[in-house]
Structure formats: C-alpha cells, structure tokens
Amino acid sequence: MIFMAATPKDARQLKPQFKFHYAGELPVYSTSHAFTGKIDQRSDRDIDELLYCDMPWILNPSKTLKQALTQNWPEHQQYTRFFALGTDAYHLIPYLGRLQAKSYERFSGQTGNIYLDSFNRLRRELLWAQFIRGKPVILDLNKPPQDLSLNDSKIN
C-alpha cells in the first residue's frame, strides 16, 4: 500500500504517477486533505480508487444545516469542518453523562461517531470513502472487500 499525505492539487498529480511507474495495483490511502469537500468529478477522476477517512458532514452533502450554512456564508466555505465541530460541541453536551456511564455508547455526530475513552477524552470514528468516477463513495466496512476496478459495470 501507499500512504499519500497530499492536498487535492498534489493528489491529482501524484496518483496517476503511481500507475505510470507500475504501482497502479497498490491500494493508495490518504488523509481527508486530499478532498476539497466539493464534488468535482472532472478533476477528481485522477484520484479514482483513492481510499481516505472523512467526517459525515463532508461525505453527506444533503444535510440541511450544512446547506443553510453554505448558502448564507458562501465566502466561508474553507471553514465548513469547523462548523461541523461547533455543531457537535453544541449537541453533544446533553449526552456526555450517557457516554461516560457506558463505554459502548456512541454519539452519531457531524464529525463522526463520538465516544469517551477510558481517560474520559472524546474520540471519534470517521467514515471511510473511496473515489469512484471522480466522486467519493462511502464504504460499508461490514461488507467484505471487493474488486472496485473502474471497468466494473456494477458501479454506477
């Protein structure tokens, strides 16, 4: 596998280079920095098959609150992840006692599934996604992995 820490611009240049240099069959993982948060199928086709983690706020664009924020403050798009953090901070407060009482409890937030660890620190679990035909697709980790080649007619 290859781990790539890159911005979207750099990822779009690096990923095709792996195929050119005969490393196209290796799985490529990245941080959420490789995705701008905006669907751009034309540009992001270069990073097809890239695997990365991100928060539900970014991967589920149909959230009503997110749509309202982006419509009312379009000039603050670069802070959208902070909006998600603030939303979770506000909504999480009533659930803290419940999270502390049961170690298996999770709060399904905009930044991920949040839980308290044994030291009472907040932790979160992110969603896994993969670029397919220029769009991020959320992966179901409960299903066994399958070949997701771009020539597969099952992918829409």
Alpha-carbon distance of 96 to 4, in angstroms, equals 35
- One digit per residue, the tens of pLDDT, for the chain of length 156 reads 999 999 999 999 999 999 899 988 899 999 999 998 888 999 999 999 999 999 999 998 667 788 888 788 878 778 888 989 999 999 999 999 999 999 899 999 999 999 999 999 999 999 999 999 999 999 988 776 555 555 554 444
> How much is the pTM?
0.80
Report the pLDDT value the prediction gives residue 156, as an integer from 0 to 100: 46
Alpha-carbon distance of 50 to 2, in angstroms, equals 10
Tokens at 76, concatenated? 């603050």
Report the pLDDT value the prediction gives residue 7, as an integer from 0 to 100: 94
Packing angle of the helix pair 64-72, 80-92 (nearest 10 deg): 130
